[in-house]
Chain A
């Protein structure tokens, strides 16, 4: 079945790197997405990776994909207090255009 799992909470110090992890079960995933949700707001698309890629870098964000282990990670370099938010990973699959979301990881950045 379709399932996307994330750890619930991550706390880091300002200036450190943050790594948010996600695992998924459906091997037919085609695109994997990272969204950011700030308090009281909707989900903002941060980045995405195609399933035939291993890594994608976009400024402070690095996405790593391990297809064998069905593991996706989002690394935020030089984490700032403005990065405090909930981060969702989501997958789309060959068989459907619907997105399957994880339950979100709350990132707290300590000054």
Chain B
């Protein structure tokens, strides 16, 4: 059972380089999310996509862009990487997101990104 698949698993970049993190889910979920996880800070939402064709900013969107390529895929792009973006990035998906509904999110294994 693949669930949510993220690539790559590890990446090292130099300051100023660009990179796209890939995410795909095979659960036919409508909603997808990108988080970053930093020590002692839990998960912070970067961007989310409630449904195919829509994207919205989360808590910490600066320095990132996203693309909901189709229902399965949601990519996160760093146009000009900065050391402050060193983090572990998680993609998640859930069923159709409606306020007040039970929509647990299912997570990938993460991408560990270091920016020198």
- Chain A interface residues toward B at CB < 8 A: 8, 30-31, 33, 35, 40-45, 48, 50, 88, 92-99, 101-104
Contact = CB atoms under 8 A, between A and B. Distances in A.
Interface string B87-104: 000101010011111111
Contacts of A88: 42-43
B75 interface: no
Given A42-B107, A45-B104, A94 B41 contact: no
Given A88-B42, A97-B97, A48 B103 contact: no
Contact of A98 (B48, B101, B107): B48
Interface residues of B, number: 27
A95 B42 contact: no
A92 B109 contact: no
Q: For the complex of A and B, list the 9 residue pairs with the smallest distance between their C-beta atoms, beginning with the closest.
A: A97-B97, A42-B107, A103-B42, A43-B107, A101-B43, A42-B109, A101-B42, A94-B100, A30-B100
